[in-house]
Amino acid sequence: MSWGVEAKLYNFVQWAIQKLEADTPELTDEDEEDNYQELVVWVRGFRNQLITVGAACSGEMKGAMANTLLSVWDLKNNQPGENLRAGGVAAVHKALEDLLSGPLAKSTPPEPPAAPPRAKPDNIKSMGFQEAATYMWETLDAANRLPWGDGGFTLDMQRKGNYQGRDTCPNPLVSYVDESSNFFKSKTTQTFIALLDNYEREVGKAEVITAEEKQEMAAFLDALSKTEVIQFAFEWLKVHGKDSRTKKLRSMPDFMNLVYELWLAPYRRVRDNDSSGFEHVFVGEESRGKITGLHNWIQYYIEEKKGKIDYLGYKGRQDSDYSDDVHVVTVAFAWQDDDPNVETKPMSTILFGSTVEFEMAILTMAFLGGGEGEPAETPFQLGTENMVIKCFKQRCKGAPKIATAYMEIA
């Protein structure tokens, strides 16, 4: 399944109009200056996403979009246009509509093709979270993940970690990985790895997203959209999603825009644009002298292979059956960076061998359609393991994003 970049832009602008309409009450509920400042933040965020989605479009199209939006926002200089203050939300809404009727008028995407049969099974309406997770793991993604043993990976668990954080394990956790396998040739794995060096590790340091990094994000989202588990997650959330944003999903570009907003769009933990759900969960961060997040095995393996991660032993609940195809570990590790201090993660649960698309799919489904509360807990079984996904929301202007989402052994 593939869409041209201009068709993706069309879908994105349609989605932005819907979002603006939903956010209008919050953008018009205070005094005039406060409303203006909030609108500036909103339009700047739209501009950043527009640049990411349209990174690969022609120079002619970029120029036409810039001219259409100039009255409300200067895309090149990333600052308000002359009419933003006076025109307010109505002027922004008109400018977005003008994009659809002007530069993007010939880019109207065709009716979305029917979902592949495996991505939309006949019984999807009756599938609860457990059945959906089993279907993704055992049917949709089984052939894509990296297996245990020859041609896959092996681990050396060694000893239980010391609660004082001392290193009790002389060897790395990952003892073998076949990097020549098809797993590492997949587009999702390759585009995922390309993202890993794009982030400032320390919370509080704002991310500066370059044009190249925007293209890498767009390539990653495009690769995700072509996987069966993500296509299934889209279909499942249209039926079972509890978050109001799932009720507006009409096409895969709609879903990818939402995935971007939840996972990749930067937000504030300590200062503006210093974090994102993707950075926290899949890359890992440093906060107040400790490592937070980092629940992905590919990132763990890459950093351990570089000699930056030092495995400190296993901790807490562990995989109860190493003979199945679910390989979950809960471990402690130290992670070195450029400063002389070596920060540690006292406990992190990681699903080894899994695909990025499976983790993105199941965590997104749990966040938008799983348990409720704070943290929102969604219990399920993976293979023979009783698991739980815990989700925390990042409160942002508009709808919440993902602060963190991870699996644990229950």
Q: What integer best gives the mean pLDDT of the chain? A: 91
Quote the CA–CA distance of 351 and 407 in Å, as a whole number.
8
Beta bridge partners of 328: 351
Please state the rounded mean pLDDT for residues 287-300.
95
Please state the rounded mean pLDDT for residues 374-395.
94
- For residues 168 and 280, membership in a common domain is answered with yes
- For residues 124 and 23, membership in a common domain is answered with no
- For residues 50 and 189, membership in a common domain is answered with no
E strand residue ranges, 67-152: 73-74, 79-80
Please state the rounded mean pLDDT for residues 306-322.
90
The pLDDT of residue 292: 95
- For residues 84 and 219, membership in a common domain is answered with no
Catalytic residue among 280, 327, 390, 401: 280
Exposed e or buried b per residue across 199-234, where buried means at least 16 C-beta atoms within 10 angstroms of its C-beta: bbbebebebebeeebbebbbbbbbbbbebbbbbbbb
- For residues 88 and 153, membership in a common domain is answered with no
How does residue 373 score in pLDDT terms, banded at 50, 70 and 90?
Answer: confident
The pLDDT of residue 1: 32
Task: Report yes or no on 45 lying in a domain.
Answer: yes
Quote the CA–CA distance of 213 and 35 in Å, as a whole number.
31
295 is catalytic: yes
pTM above 0.85, yes or no: no
Domain end marker among 80, 107, 134:
107
Domain end marker among 77, 107, 137:
107
Note down the domain range covering 272: 118-409
Catalytic residue among 8, 214, 238, 345: 345
- Look at residues 248, 349, 360 and name the one whose alpha carbon lies nearest to residue 297: 349
Quote the CA–CA distance of 195 and 189 in Å, as a whole number.
10
The pLDDT of residue 325: 87
The pLDDT of residue 111: 61
Segment 177-191, tens digit of pLDDT: 999 999 999 999 999
Task: Report yes or no on 113 lying in a domain.
Answer: no
Question: DSSP string spanning 163-212?
Answer: TT-----SS-SEEEE-TTSGGGGSHHHHHHHHHTTSS-SBTTSPP---HH
% pLDDT > 90, the chain: 65
Token pair for residue 67? 């001219």
The pLDDT of residue 317: 87
Please state the rounded mean pLDDT for residues 159-187.
89
Helix spans in 28-128 (H)? 32-53, 59-69, 84-101
Quote the CA–CA distance of 53 and 65 in Å, as a whole number.
13
How distant, in Å, are the alpha carbons of 282, 303, 364, 397 from that of 297? 9, 10, 18, 32
Q: Which residue has the higher pLDDT, 341 or 281?
A: 281
- For residues 284 and 184, membership in a common domain is answered with yes
Under DSSP, is residue 237 helix (H, G, I), strand (E, B) or coil? helix
Token pair for residue 99? 């994009």
The pLDDT of residue 2: 39
Task: Report yes or no on 112 lying in a domain.
Answer: no
Please state the rounded mean pLDDT for residues 37-48.
91
Domain end marker among 59, 81, 107:
107
Segment 67-109, tens digit of pLDDT: 999 999 999 999 999 999 999 999 999 999 999 999 988 776 6
Is the Cβ–Cβ distance between 317 and 408 less than 8 Å?
A: yes
Task: Report yes or no on 208 lying in a domain.
Answer: yes
Task: Report yes or no on 40 lying in a domain.
Answer: yes
- For residues 221 and 79, membership in a common domain is answered with no
Catalytic residue among 19, 295, 390, 401: 295
Task: Report yes or no on 326 lying in a domain.
Answer: yes
Is the Cβ–Cβ distance between 223 and 187 less than 8 Å?
A: yes
How does residue 173 score in pLDDT terms, banded at 50, 70 and 90?
Answer: very high
Please state the rounded mean pLDDT for residues 395-410.
91
- For residues 207 and 307, membership in a common domain is answered with yes
Largest CA distance in the chain: 66
Please state the rounded mean pLDDT for residues 130-147.
95
DSSP state of 136: I
Is the Cβ–Cβ distance between 85 and 36 less than 8 Å?
A: yes
- For residues 90 and 202, membership in a common domain is answered with no
- Look at residues 287, 337, 284, 330 and name the one whose alpha carbon lies nearest to residue 307: 337
Answer whether residue 158 shows pLDDT above 70. Answer: yes
Report the amino acid identity of residue 321. D
Please state the rounded mean pLDDT for residues 139-159.
93
Identity of the highest mean pLDDT range in 15-24, 115-124, 199-208, 220-229:
220-229
93 is catalytic: no
Helix spans in 226-351 (H)? 228-240, 252-259, 277-278, 297-305
- For residues 67 and 102, membership in a common domain is answered with yes
The pLDDT of residue 10: 87
- For residues 51 and 149, membership in a common domain is answered with no
Quote the CA–CA distance of 184 and 128 in Å, as a whole number.
31
Answer whether residue 26 shows pLDDT above 90. Answer: no
- For residues 198 and 61, membership in a common domain is answered with no
Counting every residue written for the chain, the total comes to 410
Answer whether residue 406 shows pLDDT above 70. Answer: yes
Structural domain count of the chain: 2
